[in-house]
Amino acid sequence: DTAVSQTPKYLVTQMGNDKSIKCEQNLGHDTMYWYKQDSKKFLKIMFSYNNKELIINETVPNRFSPKSPDKAHLNLHINSLELGDSAVYFCASSQAGGIRYEQYFGPGTRLTVT
């Protein structure tokens, strides 16, 4: 069974379009994240939700809007896509509490904006 899954795996779209990426985890975790990995492989956190509540919102353009319908799902909607949005987006999950902060990542969604 896949622990953290994302759809789609690849997304190719044109500038100005709106697109969504979906994420689901079956680990029973209460915290989920969205990360962006750029072409240099640098991984940066974008958002984090704990039990459907937004707890981390890094400096991300308003065009990005996360939504968590329940603690097992976290979706990312992107409006008015720009060339600079091209990257690999990873969903991750963890269990809050303690100091280990271990996260489990999905396979990623490669977004290409043309």
Partner 1 sequence: TQLLEQSPQFLSIQEGENLTVYCNSSSVFSSLQWYRQEPGEGPVLLVTVVTGGEVKKLKRLTFQFGDARKDSSLHITAAQPGDTGLYLCAGGWAGGTSYGKLTFGQGTILTVHP
Residues lying near partner 1 in the complex (CB under 8 A): 4, 31, 40-45, 48, 50, 55-56, 90, 92, 94, 96, 99-108
Count CB-CB contacts under 10 A for residue 24: 19
Q: How far is the CB of 105 from partner 1 (least distance, A)?
A: 3
**Largest pairwise CA distance in the chain:** 43
CA distance 98 to 3: 21
Q: How far is the CB of 56 from partner 1 (least distance, A)?
A: 6
CA distance 51 to 109: 23
Q: How far is the CB of 16 from partner 1 (least distance, A)?
A: 28
Q: Nearer to partner 1 by C-beta: 14 or 99?
A: 99
